[in-house]
């Protein structure tokens, strides 16, 4: 019933579960587990590119009832644009994490948890075909992004985080 797209959406959550089992003081293990999760995320996304048919519309669709009383379902799929965004996101995920490897020295576990949650939100938003599901993933993406900016950002990080939240919500 659930295929590659659902695996891509929920794999970062599985990575978060693994991170929760690692002691926070073991920053090296946290970093390695997060990096492995992002690499696996990219590898899982590759078959979508090879199996994608340019002449078709929505592909790799998955559907399951979620809140049927309101006509809300878990409905995901990809077209050419969302495939590009999905591949770009999963390709850049390990690269971006590697670039932060030595820059993030405090609260590495929390940073990594938010980073993986951000990817669940982004991937979910890119593949959502139900408006309510898109909204859930969009909001799920904003929360960790605000924390990443507000806690690990630069000199005016709180100001930047508040502006980010205001501009994306309004």
With cut-offs at 50, 70 and 90, classify the pLDDT of residue 2: confident
pLDDT tens digits for range 19-48: 999 998 899 999 999 999 999 999 999 999
Q: Where are the domains of the chain?
A: 4-144
Longest Cα pair distance anywhere in the chain, in angstroms? 51
How many residues make up the chain in this entry?
170
Q: If we measure between CA atoms, which residue out of 49, 57, 39 comes closest to residue 86?
A: 49
pLDDT tens digits for range 46-65: 999 998 888 878 889 999 99
Q: Average the pLDDT over 117-125 and give the result.
A: 97
| DSSP state at residue 128 | B
CB 49 within 8 A of CB 85: no
């Amino acid at each position: 019933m659930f295929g590659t797209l659902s695996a891509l959406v929920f794999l970062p959550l599985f990575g978060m579960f693994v991170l929760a089992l690692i002691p926070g003081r073991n920053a090296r293990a946290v970093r390695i587990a997060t990096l492995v999760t992002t690499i696996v995320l990219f590898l899982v996304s590759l078959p979508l590119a090879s199996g994608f048919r340019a002449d078709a519309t929505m592909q790799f669709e998955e559907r399951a009832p979620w809140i049927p009383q309101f006509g809300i379902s878990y409905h995901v799929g990809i077209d050419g644009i969302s495939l590009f965004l999905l591949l770009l996101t999963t390709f850049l995920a390990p690269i971006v994490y590697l670039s932060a490897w030595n820059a993030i020295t405090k609260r590495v576990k929390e940073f990594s948890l938010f980073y993986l949650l951000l990817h669940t939100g982004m991937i979910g938003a890119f593949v959502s075909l139900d408006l309510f599901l898109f909204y859930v993933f969009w909001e799920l993406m904003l929360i960790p992004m605000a924390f990443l900016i507000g806690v690990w950002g630069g000199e005016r990080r709180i100001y930047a985080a508040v502006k980010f939240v205001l501009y994306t919500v309004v």
